[in-house]
Structure 1
Amino acid sequence: MGEHTSWADKRAEVMGRPGAGAAYDAARIRFELGASVRRRREELGLTQAELAERAGLKQPAVARFEAGGTMPTIPMLERFAEALELRLSVEFHPLPEAG
């Protein structure tokens, strides 16, 4: 039988590749933004189709965004914010210091 690799070992291997950290961060940002939009949509009792109509989009675009499938532009985030009755705030934070 073949040798099994643990998830931690596989992750370390993948994250050691050039550019992997940036790709991971981009995926994390997409996922977190999508989850935020979904939570707010649900708080307002809106369907994806209703949010899409408010934002001038089609329902599949909202579904992709909520699933973390697209990296939005600032104008797209502004459209979502307005449709969700929110104010968009973009901030910069210092990076954590290497330990």
Structure 2
Amino acid sequence: MAGHNKWKTIKAKRIAGEEVSPEYAAMVEEARLGQDLGAAVYRRRIELGLSQTELAERAGMTQPQVSRLEGGAHMPTIPLMVRLAAALEIDVVMHGDVSEPVEFRVITAV
């Protein structure tokens, strides 16, 4: 994710009417995906009645890592997504089209 200084620089360029690089749209998209993912993790954690510490223990993370993830400040790796899915008792559906939201599905008995 882009750092605070990078966002400030881009914002200043936009305000000044200067052209910003195409990476700006990618940064905005990454931030949106991070926020969507964090909100979905939060909702599911609350549904399960788990604290951030309990989720962290289940997923092999620390509580601050869970907090950053839920706040949208951290994009997890694929292995972490797999651990989170197991900890949250969900399947994660990721679409090839990033305009589609990340989808969590509760695991159902077969």
Question: What TM-score does the superposition give when structure 1 sets the normalisation length?
Answer: 0.77
| 2:20 alignment partner in structure 1 | 17
- Pairs aligned (count): 85
Letter in 2 for 1:17: V
Larger radius of gyration: 1
Structure 1 residues 65 and 20 mapped into 2: Cα distance closer, same or farther (>3 Å)?
same
| 1:7 alignment partner in structure 2 | none
Q: Report Cα offsets for 1:35-82 as digits up to 9, x if no partner.
A: 100000001110000000100111011001000111111111111110
More strand by share: 2
Identity of aligned residues (%): 46
Structure 1 residues 94 and 27 mapped into 2: Cα distance closer, same or farther (>3 Å)?
closer
| 2:60 alignment partner in structure 1 | 56
- Gaps of at least 5 residues in structure 1 are 1-9
Q: 2:73 aligns with which of 59, 66, 69?
A: 69
Tell me how far apart the structure 2 counterparts of residues 88 and 30 of structure 1 sit (CA, whole Å): 15
Tell me how far apart the structure 2 counterparts of residues 35 and 92 of structure 1 sit (CA, whole Å): 20
CA RMSD after TM alignment: 2.1
Runs of 4+ in 1 over 3 A off after TM superposition: none
